[in-house]
Chain A
């Protein structure tokens, strides 16, 4: 893949197929309830996309993506909650006009840091900037000191634990373990009825494609190739005169911002945000979506997210006990047998077959998966 275009032929076909699936097929065949579920799954796809860049290409495994998902989601939820807590809606409270959970916790005035969230513009900026800056601080502190690999994973995990305890503990300001529920309108537009769910779904799919294009661009730019080089032989890149830390920080920030956008979409589509998405368990689950889809494949990560979540919903509907066995087994199987996930299976087995069927050996089936990870050395 030496061409400098940000999408090659087989990738373009893949993107078009995904677009057809998300924009035409699913909305046609699913009722609004199921479509809303797909919207929920897709919010995790943003995180998976970020992980492809930072983990698949950069070799940085973050077990704290839930932190960024949560920060983005909470920014959005704060705006929506403020709008739902108008003076008329909250007459029965002792202090009308503030969110209900604040009233229950004897807070009588809106805290300072909540005030700017009356503005949608500020909220949108915050969704991107707050997690971005947070990632910048963590990343700068860690990568400048060459912390990597497993250490980084464990520290991000601890950050997720800290943030969860903080959100749960400061319930007067954050809604505690209940989270922020009963989000109703966006600039006066009710987000709960069916037609709003459909509009939000298409909006989300639109955002997802923007993120996919950004990811494609990063991947095919010089930057992406440096990231991959860094993952495989960090020292050589450093000796060639590149600042490894800065590239890592950049990849980490991009993944954080993607996760935050996913979180904001979650708050919009599900009407809900809670600390249960911030902690360690959801963060690791998001890594698994990426691993199942293929950590090197931008589109694979999205299919992986959809597939695991579909399986989760349908398995847990019919066999709740089997679900954890299934999920656990899936992790192990993916890691042991298919380190490149779905995209790897596609690239190694299915695509060559199709290619053989249609033309005799002209296409480049490696376009989805790239190089296998099995023999890549850790970034440490």
Chain B
């Protein structure tokens, strides 16, 4: 990209921002921080990059490499949230400035860049990481240098840290209610698990298996894993045909998804008759899969772009104004949007940017303006949130078919599921 083009993009970006602000009122209802001039020496006792007018945070995602496909949405929504917060007066009267670093889909690079953000740039918080592997690489760094990480992705659990706020759902929050629902609604007793071969699908399937066998008294008739990036699924589809499960439960990720659903359809498995429950396909993935290949499948998430509430409508409108009409918003994109807001609310509750105070003030922080509806931070630094089941439609959106009545408690170390 030439320099001129880069400048052109930047100004287009600014224009979009201004337009996006028209959609702010819903979020503007949030309590505005009193712009009382709190001296920097009071709100920042640990030498973070906070001045009288500005506070710096880091955005750390993959803009290049294989994960750029997934992480782009998170970068976009974090930037949107930061702009909205700034338009609403900033944090403790200070505008947020962000430094964006590229993790390049490479886990040590994530660790290196996290260290740079914390040590050299002294950022007050990092919004970032996507894969479990990148988080695992960054975790020792944020713990050692006492940073604050807001992590957006639904993940396998088995982790809890003072320095991390998990704005996505851990495995039990995502899976259990969905399995209960297919069991009750569809009378499902037999399940076929298929996943990509790495830790998140394996852990999720382990939890799902325990739940199916011990709670639902059902049967798992098959459990299969394919390498990341695999594009041939005909053999496993034959196994599915042989075992005739009530439910195909999938956590295949990335480009493999596209191949899986296309081949499933081509093999004559009609998703309007065969129940399929996925925990890995959001609106983002459907963009690549094609609505016609996946229509009828059920996804178990906490957020769908089609959610009908005022917060979400304002969020979707603002997001599209900023990033284009054609963009779609998936579960993780929304969770990433929560990060900057939760951080702002926590900082204002703590009355300080200090990481220790922010970490201590986090439990109990509520965000009423969340697109997914009300969320609250739990003692264990995960979010209380609802589980929802949506049905994929031809146009690539989900139709909400079920949501839990109450917020589901996050339980990263579930007893009886390990």
Going nearest first, the 3 A-B pairs with the smallest beta carbon separation are A320-B102, A177-B198, A320-B63
Residue B64 at the A interface, CB < 8 A?
yes
* Chain B residues, CB < 8 A from A243: none
Whether A104 lies near B158 (C-beta < 8 A) is yes
In the bound complex, do residue B140 and residue A271 qualify as a contact, i.e. CB atoms below 8 Å apart?
yes
**How many residue pairs bridge A and B at CB < 8 Å?**
95
- Which interface class (under 10, 10 to 19, 20 to 34, 35 or more) fits B? 35 or more
- Cβ contacts under 8 Å, A192 to chain B: 140, 144
B418 sits at the interface (CB 8 A): yes
With A168-B197, A272-B108, A324-B64 in contact, is A177–B133 under 8 Å at CB? yes
B104 engages A320 (CB within 8 Å): yes
| Measured CA separation A105–B203 after assembly (Å) | 8
- Looking at A178-186, A233-241, A329-337, the stretch in contact with chain B turns out to be A178-186
28 contacts between A and B (CB under 8 A): A33-B115, A33-B116, A37-B112, A92-B413, A101-B199, A104-B203, A104-B418, A168-B198, A171-B202, A176-B199, A177-B132, A177-B228, A178-B107, A178-B133, A179-B107, A179-B133, A179-B137, A181-B139, A270-B108, A271-B140, A272-B107, A272-B108, A272-B111, A276-B107, A316-B102, A317-B116, A323-B64, A323-B102
| Interface assignment of A111: CB less than 8 Å from any CB of chain B | no
Q: Which residues of B, 57-84, contact A by the 8 Å Cβ criterion? A: 63-64
Given contacts A104-B158, A104-B199, contact A276 B106 (CB under 8 A): yes
Task: Judge if B1 is at the interface, Cβ distance under 8 Å.
Answer: yes
User: Could you tell me the distance between the alpha carbons of A290 and B116 in the complex, rounded to whole angstroms?
Assistant: 27
Chain B proximity mask over A267-286: 1 for CB below 8 Å, otherwise 0:
00011101010000000000
**B136 close to chain A: CB less than 8 A:** yes
| Cβ–Cβ contact A168 & B228, under 8 A | yes
Please indicate the chain A residues that have their CB under 8 angstroms from the CB of B418 in the complex. Answer: 94, 104, 106
Which residues of chain B are near A33, meaning CB under 8 Å? 115-116, 119-120
B residues in contact with A182, CB < 8 Å: 136, 139-140
Confirm or deny: A370 has a beta carbon within 8 angstroms of a beta carbon on chain B: no
**Residue of A313, A320, A324 with most chain B CB atoms under a 10 A cut-off:** A320
Contact with A along B192-222 (1 / 0, CB 8 A): 0000011100110010000000000000000
- Give A316 to B109 CA distance when docked, in angstroms: 10
Asked whether A116 is an interface residue with its Cβ less than 8 Å from the other chain, the reply is no
Q: How far is A316 from B202 in the complex, measured between Cα atoms in Å?
A: 33
From DSSP, what is the main secondary structure of chain A's interface residues? helix
Contact with B along A100-113 (1 / 0, CB 8 A): 01001110000000
With a cutoff of 8 Å between Cβ atoms, the chain A residues found around residue B119 in the complex are 33
Closest chain A residue to B118 by CB distance?
A33
- Name which residue of chain B comes closest to A105, CB basis: B202
Chain B residues whose CB sits within 8 angstroms of the CB of A92 once the complex forms: 413
A165 an interface residue at 8 Å Cβ cutoff? yes
A206 near B: Cβ within 8 Å? no
Residues of chain B within 8 A of A320, CB atoms compared: 63-64, 102, 104
A169 near B227: Cβ-Cβ < 8 Å: yes
For the complex formed, measure the closest distance between the CB of A75 and the CB atoms of chain B, giving whole angstroms. Answer: 18
A176-B199, A272-B111, A321-B1 in contact; A169/B225 too (CB < 8 A)? yes
Asked if B64 contacts A274 (CB within 8 A), the reply is no
Contact at A321–B202, with CB atoms within 8 Å?
no
Given A33-B115, A165-B227, A168-B228, decide whether A177 and B64 contact each other with a Cβ distance below 8 A: no
Which of chain A's residues have a CB closer than 8 A to the CB of B63? 320-321
**Closest chain A CB from B71 CB (angstroms):** 12
Report the minimal beta-carbon distance from A355 to chain B, rounded to whole angstroms.
Answer: 40
Q: In chain A, residues 296-345, which have Cβ atoms closer than 8 Å to a Cβ of chain B? A: 313, 316-317, 320-324
Cα A243 to Cα B78 in complex, Å, equals 62
- Counting CB contacts under 8 A, is A219 at the interface? no
B356 at interface by CB-CB < 8 Å: no
- Report the Cα distance A137→B325, complex, angstroms: 57
- Judge whether B379 is part of the interface by a CB distance below 8 angstroms: no
Q: What is B's interface to A at a CB cutoff of 8 Å?
A: 1, 63-64, 101-102, 104, 106-109, 111-112, 115-116, 119-120, 131-133, 136-137, 139-140, 144, 156, 158, 197-199, 202-203, 206, 225, 227-228, 413, 418
Q: Quick one: closest A residue to B199, CB to CB?
A: A176
User: How long is the Cα–Cα vector from A129 to B119 in the complex, in angstroms?
Assistant: 38
Determine the distance from Cα of A223 to Cα of B228 in the docked complex, in whole angstroms: 43
Most A Cβ at <10 Å: residue of B63, B104, B106, B133: B133
Residues on B with C-beta less than 8 A from A165 are: 197, 227
Q: Chain B contacts of A231 at CB under 8 A?
A: none
Residues of B within 8 A of A179 (CB): 107, 133, 136-137
Determine whether A40 belongs to the interface, using a CB cutoff of 8 Å to chain B. yes
Chain B hits for A274, CB < 8 A:
107-108, 133, 137
A313 surroundings in chain B (CB, below 8 A): 112
Give the CA-CA distance A106 to B203 in the complex, in Å: 10
Determine whether the beta carbon of A169 is less than 8 Å from that of B197.
yes
* Closest Cβ–Cβ distance, residue A173 to chain B (whole Å): 13
Distance from B107 Cβ to chain A, minimum over Cβ atoms (Å): 5
Write out the residue numbers on chain B whose beta carbons fall within 8 Å of the beta carbon of A317.
Answer: 101-102, 116
Taken together as a complex, chains A and B put the C-alpha atoms of A123 and B364 apart, in Å, by: 47
Chain A neighbourhood of B108, CB < 8 A: 40, 270, 272, 274, 276
Does B136 lie within 8 Å of A178, measured CB to CB? yes
Q: Is B198 touching A181 in the complex (CB atoms < 8 A)?
A: no
Q: Complex Cα distance A171/B199, Å?
A: 7
Closest-CB distance, B309 to chain A (whole angstroms): 35
B198 and A171 within 8 A (CB): yes
Closest beta carbon of chain A to B10's beta carbon, Å: 13
B199 partner residues in chain A, CB cutoff 8 A? 101, 104, 171, 176-178
CB distance from B76 to the nearest CB of A (A): 15
A221 to chain B, nearest CB (A): 36
Which of B112, B203, B225 makes the CB contact (< 8 A) with A40?
Answer: B112
What is the CB-to-nearest-CB distance from A362 to chain B, in angstroms, rounded to a whole number? 46
Name the residue on B nearest A317 (C-beta).
Answer: B101
Residues of B within 8 Å of A176, CB to CB, are: 198-199, 202
Closest B residue to A282 by CB, please name it.
B106
Contact A178 B202 (CB under 8 A): no
A contact residues around B120 at 8 Å (CB): 31, 33
Q: Which residue of A lies closest to B135 (CB)?
A: A178
Closest to A274 in B: B107
CA distance in complex: A168, B197 (Å): 7
Interface positions, chain A 126-149, Cβ under 8 Å from B, are: none
What's the Cα separation between A320 and B418 when bound, in Å?
A: 40
Q: Which residue of A lies closest to B230 (CB)?
A: A165
A235 to B276, CA, bound (A): 62
